[in-house]
């Protein structure tokens, strides 16, 4: 990520996972040494069911090479 002050490259100096789905990263610019924090949150993708694809093409039972049978 670029520095928000001078748009140079930044490095991550610290990263914290305070919540289950939020990661905060402290970044420091390698040029102007300014620090700022970024917050990373996942965004749920809304699955739109494609009604034209009714047939399942997945034949997973036939392709079991190295499956995870516990």
Give the interface segment with Zn ion, choosing from 2-10, 14-22, 37-45, 54-62 (CB under 5 A): 2-10
- Give the three-class secondary structure for 55: coil
* Burial of 2 from C-beta contacts in 10 A (0-12 / 13-18 / 19+): exposed
CB of 38 to Zn ion, least distance (A): 14
Interaction between residue 13 and Zn ion (CB under 5 A): no
Q: Determine which residue in the list 16, 32, 37, 39 makes contact with Zn ion, applying CB under 5 A.
A: 32
3-state DSSP helix/strand/coil % of the chain, to nearest 5:
0, 30, 70
- Residue written as token pair 């300014």: 34
Is residue 27 a contact residue for Zn ion (CB under 5 A)? no
**Which of 6, 12, 13, 22 lies at the binding interface for Zn ion (CB under 5 A)?**
6
């Amino acid at each position: 990520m670029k520095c928000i002050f001078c748009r140079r490259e930044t490095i991550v100096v610290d990263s914290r996972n305070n919540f289950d789905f939020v990661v905060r990263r402290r970044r420091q610019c390698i040029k102007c040494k300014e620090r700022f924090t970024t917050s990373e949150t996942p965004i749920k993708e809304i699955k739109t069911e494609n009604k034209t694809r009714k047939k399942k093409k997945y034949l997973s039972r036939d392709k079991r090479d190295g499956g995870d049978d516990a």
